[in-house]
Every structure is written in C-alpha cells, then in structure tokens.
Amino acid sequence: MSVSPPDAYGEVHRTILTHVRACKVIGRVQLEADLQQIVAAVSQTTDSGDDSDQAKIDDFISTINSRITNHGMKITQSRSQVTNETYFLFVNTLSDDIIKTNSTYSVGELDAIKKLIDEIFESGLSYSIGLVPATQVVAATLNKPMREAGVFIEDLVDQGWLNITVHDQVILSMRGLCELERYLLDRYGITEQDGSVYTCFQCKEIVTLGRKCCRCHTAFHYKCGDVWLKSAKLGQCPREGCDFDWNNAAEIIGVDPDSVIAEENVESVL
C-alpha cells in the first residue's frame, strides 16, 4: 500500500487526526515517534523519506488543518508554561459559547464550568482553586451531592479542560487555556487594562504559571523569562519606566510548578 505525501490527504492524515483527538494533548516528540508507527502500519513498509520527522509532522498537520479548519476544528501547537516543550492539541476554533460546540455538556454544566473558571481567574496570582471548594461550587450550581460534583470535575480533567496538581489545586489545563483564550481575554481582560489576565512579555501568550515584576504588569513564563534574562541588559525590567531588577526575586504567578502533573495523554489508537 502506498502512502500519500504530506500534502495529499490520505490514510496517514486520517490516522494522525484520530490519534491526536484521542490523546487530546500529545508532545511533539511522542507524535513524531508515533508517526513512524502510523506510516509503517499504513504502508506496511519502513519509511525511508529524507525529510526530518519534525518537517514531516508539520506538513501532515498543515494538510489536516486545511481540511478541518472550515468545520471549526484545528490541531494547534502550544508550549508548556513550565518546560517550554511543544505539544499538539485538537481544539475547537468557533468563538461562540464556552466549550459548547465541542462537548455534550448541559446548560447547567456549562454554567458550572464558567463559575469554576471565574473562581480560578479571580483568585489573584494563584490562578487556582482548591479541589474541595471547586467541588462545592459545582455541587451548589448543579444542586448535586459532593460525590457527584467530584465525578463531574474528574470528567473535566479527563476531557482535558482542567488539571489537578499534586496538592489538590484545580487549574485550567493547557487545552483549556489554548481553546478558551479568546473567551478568557474577553471576559477578564489583560492586566495592562486593569484586567486579571497576564500575558508573557516574550511570547505574548497567557501566563498562569510563571513570574511577574514586583512593580509593574510585566510577566514571563518560566522558560521565557530565563531566555529573556540571559539577553537582558543588567536584568532591568523591559517595561519602559520600570527599574525593577529581575535578578532579584520576582513574584510567582500560579501554583508551584513542581506540583503540576504532566498533561500529555499517550492513549493510542495505533
């Protein structure tokens, strides 16, 4: 069996799409390794192409997106706020109501999700809520016992919307941040305009895990801050008019990064 080239949609593309959807979040390194298995399974031969795995997967993803973007779906890339590792995620791109078009949640359940996100983004710099208070919010909103509310939160974690740290703090997941970015910015606003959402000075993405200046709204993801600091003149804050020295201790944004559980789901359809 022949394998379609990356720019001609075929069985390999369909398998990659199914695989990423099943995994929800998958690291680039893992997906590049899986690509070899997918190609071998489809062609029943070992791939001998000259292109690098990185170039191949980018080409395949580009072709897949050309097919599904008009249907309000996309395979996008995001980076870990802690390690800066690249991940692929299957997301909904429609900008109507939160999560609505990409789930089977009821109106009441969507309301509970919104209230959880409110709690997370109105918590100050922690961008988190304890598991017990989160369960109480869901129980009160849905008028359900705590046990059932806990099951609902577990489902949100399984579906990739939330993450729970080793210290039982509920935070928005990588998928949640990526897919709900427009909703979050519209609802809460950026800190430079008196909102509650920090954006990274280096990469411009939302920061819920990182560091911020003690005197202004400048914020960085951990790795972004490390990169900037290596090239910064004497470590002075990049914000015009701010003289904070980033070589001193900056304020922490979010939970302890060591407490964050890896989100990659290597569930396979291979």
In a domain, 267, yes or no: no
206-224: average pLDDT: 94
Look up the CATH number of the domain holding residue 71.
3.90.1150.220
Number of domains the chain contains: 3
Q: What average pLDDT does this structure show over 259-268? A: 67
**Is 189 within a domain?**
no
Give the range among 63-67, 99-103, 170-174, 200-204 with minimum mean pLDDT: 99-103
Residue 101 clears pLDDT 70, i.e. is over it = no
Residues 249 and 239: their CA atoms lie apart, in Å, by 17
* Residue 99 pLDDT grade (very low, low, confident, very high; cuts 50, 70, 90): low
Domain annotation covers residue 247: yes
Q: Answer yes or no: is pLDDT of 55 > 90.
A: no
Assess if residue 136 is contained within a domain. yes
pLDDT at 61: 94
* DSSP 3-state of 73: strand
CATH number at residue 118: 1.10.10.10
Given this model, what pLDDT does residue 102 score?
52
Q: Which of 157, 180, 203 is the last residue of a domain?
A: 180
In this prediction, residues 162-184 reach a mean pLDDT of 93
pLDDT of residue 56: 86
Domain edge (last residue) among 61, 92, 123: 92
End-to-end CA gap in the chain: 17
The whole-number average pLDDT for the span 22-30 is: 90
Say if 53 falls within a structural domain. Answer: yes
- For the cut 80, the answer to whether the pLDDT of residue 267 exceeds it is no
What are the distances in angstroms from CA 2 to CA 10, 39, 42, 58?
Answer: 10, 10, 8, 20
Q: Is 3 domain-assigned? A: no
**Residues 82 and 33 occupy one common structural domain:** yes
Which of 3-7, 145-149, 261-265 is modeled with the greatest confidence? 145-149
Helical H runs in the chain?
A: 11-23, 28-43, 53-68, 107-121, 131-142, 146-158, 174-179, 181-188, 222-231
Q: What is the DSSP string of 136-190?
A: HHHHHHHT--HHHHHHHHHHHHHTTSEEE-TT-EEEE-HHHHHHTHHHHHHHH-B
Question: Which residues form the domain of 63?
Answer: 11-92
Is 43 in the same domain as 71? Answer: yes
Confidence check: pLDDT of 129 > 90? yes
Is 71 in the same domain as 130?
Answer: no
Q: Is the pLDDT of residue 254 over 60?
A: yes
Query: If you average pLDDT over residues 78-104, what whole number do you get?
Result: 78
Is 221 a member of any domain?
yes
Give the residue-averaged pLDDT of 53-64.
88
Among 56-65, 92-101, 254-263, the range with the most confident prediction by mean pLDDT is 56-65
Please, what's the b/e burial string for 56-89 (b: 16 or more CB within 10 A of its CB; e: otherwise)?
bbbebbebbbeeeeeeebbbbebbbbbeeeebbb
144 and 211 co-located in one domain: no
CATH code assigned at 217:
3.30.40
